[in-house]
């Protein structure tokens, strides 16, 4: 039987794409998700266990029942803005949740971990961030991702785990076959929000800040196609660091696009203008975050091949057009109501 990989957060955007890629590559994904923010209907590859990562017993039971040999840990709260209002929730889900997962891994003898970290650990952004730069998050979200990395590093040296933290830049796009796209209960990401606005399914987009020191004043980000990201997880699983070692690798395209350039690409793809208004900067948003992706290229042979902005936007638009109706408004049931 193929090796089972526990995919926490596998009912979310990146997790569902990763589970699909794992199954295609011959692994056995076991999705573990509370459905606080994800959706059951995107768990189509492998088994599903509904549970909360803060529940160590539930994790142990899932690891034992499914004979899990490695973990991809994506489950987290992810909204930077919310993290500035409710950092307590982020410490609980993202750090206490990661501690619970690590204890379960040690108890069940599961030695390998791939962790969803973020460019947010760098804090003050600039072009071509490399992994040797000091980390200095400027949001509570980034603080909790960095704390997760440090906790994992300590578990590696104490208990002989081997872990790769993938520091994703901005995940975006949709699978070319149209099976999976980006849709959250509380959407805050630029590309899906802009497409909703352009199609008239959502309110005009707010551009947070037009006075950053970038080429047009709007925030500059590195966008990485979700299929490229999914492939990075497979590469990390296939080639882990030695037992006892932790490593952090950027996963980005190595090029940045401003918010206004992304909007222009969406206008072109849809053949209509995206309505938007300029708002103030958001707390916790740096001017620029662009990856230097050389380390992951050298270490794992991974490079972005689908992360051209126009391809990202076209796949996202195609997936959203196929649905061609407003998504039903749903209440996000989980994290906010559970401090
Ligand atoms: N989307 C991005 O651009 C981006 C960038 C950098 C890092 N990341 C990281 O990647 C990971 C996945 O992000 P995403 O964009 O797919 O987010 P998402 O919100 O689509 O998915 C997160 C999933 O985690 C689940 N979850 C949350 N708290 C949980 C808990 N306590 N127990 C069990 N499940 C829980 C949610 O139900 C959801 O399915 C996160 O760790 C995020 O911090 C994302």
Q: What is the DSSP track for 67-87?
A: TEEEEEE------HHHHHH-H
Q: Is 37 in the pocket of ligand 1 (CB under 6 A)?
A: yes
Whether 276 is catalytic is: no
pLDDT value at position 34? 97
Contact 232, 166 (CB under 8 A): yes
Instruction: Indicate if the pLDDT at residue 153 is higher than 50.
Output: yes
Contact 211, 258 (CB under 8 A): no
Q: What's the token pair of residue 111?
A: 């030695």
Comparing CA positions, the residue from 243, 306, 256, 251 lying closest to residue 113 is 243
Residue 152 shares a structural domain with residue 62: yes
Read off the pLDDT of residues 183-220 as tens digits, 9 standing for 90 and up.
777 778 999 999 999 988 889 999 999 999 999 999 99
* Residue to probe by mutation, ligand 1, list 10, 19, 76, most atoms within 8 Å of CB: 76
Residue 334, in any domain of the structure = no
The residue from 251, 269, 295 where one domain ends is 251
Q: Is 141 in the pocket of ligand 1 (CB under 6 A)?
A: no
Number of domains comprising the chain: 2
Comparing CA positions, the residue from 68, 85, 309 lying closest to residue 186 is 85
The residue range of the domain holding 314 is 190-221+254-323
Residue 97 shares a structural domain with residue 231: yes
Residue 205 shares a structural domain with residue 108: no
Give the CATH number for residue 79. Answer: 3.40.50.720
CA-nearest residue for atom 18, ligand 1, is 12
pLDDT value at position 332? 34
Residue 144 shares a structural domain with residue 207: no
Residue 216 shares a structural domain with residue 120: no
Q: What's the token pair of residue 272?
A: 């209509």
Residue 148 shares a structural domain with residue 95: yes
Residue 244 shares a structural domain with residue 299: no
């Amino acid at each position: 039987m193929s090796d089972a990989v526990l995919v926490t957060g596998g009912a979310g955007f990146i997790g569902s794409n990763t589970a699909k890629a794992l199954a295609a590559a011959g692994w056995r994904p076991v999705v573990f998700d509370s459905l606080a923010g994800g959706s059951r209907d995107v768990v189509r590859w492998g088994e599903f266990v509904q549970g909360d990562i803060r529940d160590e017993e539930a994790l142990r039971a899932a690891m034992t029942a499914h004979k899990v040999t490695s973990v991809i840990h994506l489950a987290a709260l992810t909204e930077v803005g919310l993290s500035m209002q409710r950092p307590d929730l982020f410490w609980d889900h993202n750090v206490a949740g990661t501690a619970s997962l690590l204890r379960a891994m040690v108890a069940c003898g599961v030695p390998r971990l791939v962790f969803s970290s973020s460019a947010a650990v760098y804090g003050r952004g600039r072009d071509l961030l490399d992994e040797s730069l000091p980390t200095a998050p400027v949001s509570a979200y980034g603080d909790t991702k960095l704390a997760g990395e440090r906790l994992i590093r300590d578990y590696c040296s104490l208990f002989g785990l081997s872990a790769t933290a993938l520091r994703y830049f901005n995940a975006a796009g949709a699978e070319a076959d149209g099976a999976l796209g980006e849709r959250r209960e509380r959407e805050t990401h630029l590309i899906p929000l802009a497409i909703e606005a352009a199609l008239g399914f959502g309110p005009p987009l707010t551009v947070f800040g037009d006075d950053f020191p970038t080429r047009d004043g709007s925030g500059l980000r590195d966008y990485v196609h979700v299929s490229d990201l999914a492939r990075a997880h497979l590469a990390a699983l296939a080639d882990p660091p030695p037992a006892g070692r932790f490593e952090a690798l950027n996963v980005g395209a190595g090029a940045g696009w401003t918010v206004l350039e992304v909007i222009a690409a969406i206008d072109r793809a849809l053949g209509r203008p995206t309505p938007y208004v300029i708002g103030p900067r958001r707390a916790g948003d740096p001017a620029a975050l662009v990856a230097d992706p050389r380390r992951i290229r050298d270490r794992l042979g991974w490079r972005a091949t689908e992360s051209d902005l126009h391809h990202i936007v076209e796949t996202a638009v195609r997936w959203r057009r196929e649905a061609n109706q407003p998504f039903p408004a749903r209440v996000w049931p989980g994290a906010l109501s559970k401090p």
